[in-house]
A and B are shown apart, each in its own frame.
Chain A
Amino acid sequence: MLQLVLYNVTNGLIIGAFYVLMALGLSLILNLSNVINFAHGNFLALGGYIAFVISPYTGFWGALLLSPLVAALFGFIIERLMIRRVYGRDPVYSLLLTFGLAFIIQDVCRYIWGPNGLPLGIPEVMAQPLSANLFFITWYRIFMVAIVIIAVAGLFAFLRFSRVGMRIRAGTLDLDTVAALGVNVRLLRSFNFALGSLLAGLSGVLAAGQIGLNPNMGDDLLMPSFIAIIVGGVGSLTGTLLGGLLIGVAAAVTTVFYPSASEAVIYVIMAVVLLLRPRGLLGEEGMMT
């Protein structure tokens, strides 16, 4: 039993790493733009489908590099054409807009690529498990975790040390002052949205290599991303990282004892956190209303 639990904790951390990548992109957009991007899961799907289209020409590695960039470009365009029109309005407007966008992207994917699952080929060597004992850790999953670590480290470094990153961080605290200091806030928001979409697109390529492609693939990953943000704390990227890992481990360990509740447990965690510490594990004060 102990071995089973330890295996599932390890497995949960791998799953949680994936939730982290999704949730960080969502959190970035939320923190700076105050937009709850319902279509974030569909940007993930789009990233996967773009990889499916270009991988025959570029191979898996080329698709891994290019697809997130295409997803970022798409996000940039969407922000410019649609999202920015609802800034400053009641948050319900952005909810409804991205809600509708989610349907549109999903249906477009279904129309172009059909409802059937599609495979995204990964290098053969990566499909092999580490060993007979660690059969559930394939080289691809290790690769996924490595990419997530690099992406998260890169994101944190970007936000910490780059000029644009500092502006993003400052903007999440006081956008008025940032604007008054002469920063082009419109461009900053567009860039930030694109960055969030890039992370979603990257998640999509990684997910496609693991579970294949289908138009609904983003839906199932969107809720855990929201919950990771709420559990970790709105406004805190570090909290989002912790939240994602926590719910990944919780879902995996719950499967050992009560599999039917493996999905419900993350909502239970969310409820407990909201009751005991409403701002989340590492959330900011003032984000409680």
Chain B
Amino acid sequence: MKSAHWNRSVGRRNILKAGAAIGALQVASPFIIQARGEATVKIGMVDPLTGILSALAQSEVEGAKYAVAEVNGKGGILGRQVELLVEDSANDVGTGVQKTRKLIDRDQVDVIFGDVNSGIAYAMSQVTNEKKVFHIVPGGHTDPITGTDCKWNVFRICNTTSMDAAAITPELVKKFGKKWFFITPDYAYGHTLQDAFIKNLKKAGGTYEGDMLPINTSDFSATLIKAKAYQPNVLLNNMGGLAQIDCMKQFTQFGMGKSMGLGGALYELESIKSVPADAQAGWWVMEWWWNQPNVPHVADFVAGMRKATGKTPSARHWFGYVAVHSVRLGADKAKSLAGPKLSVAMEGLELPPDVALQPGKTFYRAGDHELMPNIFVGEVHPPQGNPDNVFTASALVPGEQAAGTVEDTGCKMTHPAA
């Protein structure tokens, strides 16, 4: 029997309450909003600064901050200094939506960026559309954002999952074969990515099996056992962030690279640098790559980012950077930050070379508001020379080629009445 003097009994009910409160741990975020200013251009950025995608989110925020400093140094946007207000979505849809509403209603931001998490980005787009606030999705890949649920106020920088799948599938089929096993996160991004891969694989006459796992899975041994039993030509690791890292490590630890190839859509620089050398392998796409020696302005950008952050910039840094400059370019063209005018100005907008930072034409397609950059297809490997030189591109696939037509995306854009 518990003694009354020393203890208040905890009991089973309190433990259950505690369990429910642990769920709140995933939602609550103590991150602080940056200082306000008057008459500034306010950009609200919602990203999962805590959680399994935090490393990717931090890179996007760093890229945006670097761009804000650059823009402010040259007079700002429409003659006004830019202020970046960053909020943590904690990788939770409810929190992301709440923070978006707060930035719009309370902080009166002019523009919204976010989220790395496709599900949150998608939910945010409903809010920004309702509030008629211009919204750029720097790094949430799920197709409907600029596809079946495209909205006049929403633009996207990163590729769609369809674009990534279309770009890498021919290479994987050529290198490894047509029998695939998918390990995919069970949320918006994973579903559309796997669907896109299956569509492309079937066109090539391939077969597949796979598992959809919770986004924050850390132990993949059970799924890898299934994969081994299936004996695919290649295993596609569609997980993201820390989950992808864990999967890569376990794939390598189990020696599965000896019996099957490895590849997928995204294997980002942040993740690659977090794994041992033998897990730095496979065939993937990069949405931007820092090592482009013959492309103007890239070296300056890389040097500037290294000085500012101490890191070699990744695609995520580039997303944040492009997002801020896109607002500047669009506002310059529209002479306004009002959502409808900014949206019209952004349609068809081509990024200048010092923002695009890659060869060819990079522009926002008018029909679906999707940025059309190059897709770098290649192989990840242990560092060669430079510790960040972990990827060698074998092909640059034009984004518009991988994306297909606007009709293919299912986007039917309608603009608000003037």
B is a partner of A = yes
Q: Which chain B residues numbered 230 to 276 have a C-beta less than 8 Å away from chain A?
A: 242, 245-246, 249-250, 253-256, 270-271, 273-276
Task: Please tell me which stretch of A56-64, A128-136, A197-205 contacts chain B, meaning at least 4 of its Cβ atoms lie within 8 angstroms of it.
Answer: A128-136
Task: Enumerate chain B residues within 8 angstroms of A173, measured Cβ to Cβ.
Answer: 1
- Which partner residue on chain A sits nearest B31 by CB separation? A107
A263 touches B214 (CB 8 A): yes
Q: Which chain B residues numbered 3 to 23 have a C-beta less than 8 Å away from chain A?
A: 3-19, 21-22
- Interface size on A, as a range, is 35 or more
With contacts A38-B25, A115-B54, A216-B51 taken as known, whether A179 is within 8 angstroms of B255 at the C-beta atoms is: no
Is B221 part of the contact surface with A, judged by Cβ < 8 Å?
A: yes
Q: Could you tell me how many residues of chain B have their Cβ less than 8 Å away from some Cβ of chain A?
A: 65
With contacts A99-B21, A102-B25, A263-B214 taken as known, whether A115 is within 8 angstroms of B274 at the C-beta atoms is: no
- Which partner residue on chain A sits nearest B211 by CB separation? A259
Contact pick for B12, options A35, A114, A288, CB 8 Å: A288
Query: Which one of A127, A129, A177 has the greatest number of beta carbons of chain B within 10 Å?
Result: A127
In the complex, per-residue mask of A258-279: 1 if CB is within 8 Å of any chain B CB, else 0: 0110110000000000100011
Contact pick for A279, options B12, B245, B249, B256, CB 8 Å: B12
In the complex, per-residue mask of B263-301: 1 if CB is within 8 Å of any chain A CB, else 0: 000000011011110000000000000000000000000
With contacts A102-B25, A119-B274, A216-B51 taken as known, whether A138 is within 8 angstroms of B225 at the C-beta atoms is: no
- Bound-state CA distance A20–B55 (Å) is 30
- Which partner residue on chain B sits nearest A117 by CB separation? B274
What's the nearest-Cβ distance from chain A to residue B300, in Å? 25
A8 touches B225 (CB 8 A): yes
What's the nearest-Cβ distance from chain B to residue A287, in Å? 6
With contacts A34-B10, A174-B1, A211-B218 taken as known, whether A260 is within 8 angstroms of B52 at the C-beta atoms is: no
- Which partner residue on chain A sits nearest B277 by CB separation? A119
Task: Enumerate chain B residues within 8 angstroms of A117, measured Cβ to Cβ.
Answer: 55, 242, 245, 271, 274-275
- Which partner residue on chain B sits nearest A115 by CB separation? B54
Q: Which chain A residues numbered 118 to 158 have a C-beta less than 8 Å away from chain B?
A: 118-119, 121, 127-129, 132, 135-136, 138, 140
- Bound-state CA distance A212–B250 (Å) is 11
Q: What's the count of A-B pairs with C-beta under 8 Å?
A: 198
B254 touches A175 (CB 8 A): no
Query: Which one of B4, B15, B211 has the greatest number of beta carbons of chain A within 10 Å?
Result: B15
- Bound-state CA distance A175–B3 (Å) is 6
- Bound-state CA distance A216–B19 (Å) is 17
- Bound-state CA distance A279–B274 (Å) is 43
B21 touches A95 (CB 8 A): yes
What's the nearest-Cβ distance from chain B to residue A179, in Å? 7
A289 touches B254 (CB 8 A): no
Contact pick for A216, options B52, B57, B219, B225, CB 8 Å: B52
Query: Which one of A11, A119, A121 has the greatest number of beta carbons of chain B within 10 Å?
Result: A119
Contact pick for A88, options B8, B212, B253, B273, CB 8 Å: B8
Is B389 part of the contact surface with A, judged by Cβ < 8 Å?
A: no
Which chain A residues have a beta carbon within 8 Å of chain B's beta carbons?
3-4, 7-8, 11-12, 14-15, 30, 34-36, 38, 87-91, 95, 99, 102-103, 106-107, 110, 114-119, 121, 127-129, 132, 135-136, 138, 140, 173-177, 179, 185, 210-212, 214-217, 219-223, 226-227, 229-230, 234, 251-253, 255-256, 259-260, 262-263, 274, 278-279, 286-289
Which chain B residues have a beta carbon within 8 Å of chain A's beta carbons?
1-19, 21-22, 25-26, 28, 30, 49-52, 54-55, 57-58, 186, 211-214, 216-219, 221-226, 228-229, 242, 245-246, 249-250, 253-256, 270-271, 273-276
The 5 closest A-B pairs by CB, nearest first: A176-B3, A117-B274, A255-B222, A259-B211, A115-B54
> Can you give 11 contacting A-B residue pairs, CB < 8 Å?
A11-B222, A34-B8, A173-B1, A210-B249, A226-B19, A234-B10, A252-B222, A255-B226, A256-B226, A259-B213, A287-B11
